[in-house]
Amino acid sequence: MGHRNQVERKERSEVGEGWGNVFSDRRFMKYWIFCFLILWAMLCEATSQHVSPDLHVNVHKVGEAFEVKASYLIPMNLCNAFAFITDYEDAKNIKGIVESKIISKADNKTVVERKAKETILLFPLEINTTIEYTELPNVGLNFEQLRGDNKTYKGTWRLESHGNTTRFFYQSVIELNSMVPKNVLEYFMKNTLKKRFEAMANRAIFKSQMTNPKCP
């Protein structure tokens, strides 16, 4: 009889523990459901606030060189747009650019050392350049390679104000000095550069949400 009572108490104890686990699991499930709903709300808000940069990129082969034209529209005023394109060291936050460092600055001219790394199909490509930028406040930039791995690299940035938005215009002529076959280079220029400008436009959108002390 005593043995039977012990068995019954043990069974009741196991049942109690089982219900405790159920309640614990329910609390656990409620916690994860709550986290899921919060995450879903954040994703919905991010989607609703997504800004399209209205990006356009065109690459044309001109002899041995390539002419690149690109533009995108960002919700920032002219002052912030100019601050963005002259934040030379921030460029390393864009995929493919591994180093971007100011080495000299005088008046409206800034010299920047920059390193970019890409893989074109199976061909690794590293480009080291030293570029001189001539700043035209709230208008844009002129730039030209002083020395580096490109045979030619020069171009301009121009800014066009539309109230609280600014359209960025980029134009350049670039001739790569590489052993990579020309048709592979052309594929790279037409496909990888578009991704580079997408990353640049997205970086500008991200920066547009920050306060710049240089701008009122």
Instruction: For residue 53, give every residue at least 6 positions away whose Cβ sits within 8 Å of its Cβ, in sequence order, or none.
Output: 72, 73, 74, 198, 201, 202, 204, 205
3-state helix, strand, coil in the chain (%, to 5): 40, 40, 20
User: In the structure encoding, which two tokens stand for residue 209, read together?
Assistant: 């949400």
Q: pLDDT at position 183, please?
A: 77
Q: Which helix (H) or strand (E) holds 27?
A: helix 2-48
> Could you read off the pLDDT tens digit of each residue along the chain, which spans 216 residues?
555 555 455 555 554 555 455 445 555 454 444 444 344 434 444 433 445 789 999 999 888 899 999 999 999 999 999 999 999 999 999 988 999 999 999 999 999 999 998 877 677 778 899 999 999 999 999 999 999 999 999 999 999 999 889 999 999 999 988 776 777 778 778 888 888 999 999 999 999 988 788 787
Of 190, 212, 182, nearest to 70 (Cα)? 190
Task: Enter the DSSP assignment of 94.
Answer: S
Q: pLDDT at position 216, please?
A: 73
Q: Which CATH architecture has domain 56-208?
A: 2-Layer Sandwich (3.30)
Question: CA separation (Å) from 216 to 79, 106, 167, 211?
Answer: 8, 25, 19, 9
Q: pLDDT at position 66, please?
A: 92
Q: pLDDT at position 45, please?
A: 41
Of 64, 192, 67, 182, nearest to 119 (Cα)? 192
Q: Dihedral angle at the C-alpha atoms of 154, 80, 96, 46, nearest 10 degrees?
A: -150
Type of residue found at 205:
I
Q: Answer whether 190's CB lies under 8 Å from 214's CB.
A: no
Q: pLDDT at position 44, please?
A: 40
**In which order are the strands placed within the sheet that holds 56-62?**
56-62, 65-74, 165-176, 150-162, 140-148, 123-136, 109-120, 97-106
Q: pLDDT at position 46, please?
A: 42
- Residue that has been written with the tokens 């690149």 in this structure: 68
- Residue that has been written with the tokens 């074109």 in this structure: 120
Q: pLDDT at position 33, please?
A: 44
- The C-alpha atoms of residue 77 and residue 97 are separated, in whole angstroms, by 26
Q: pLDDT at position 95, please?
A: 86
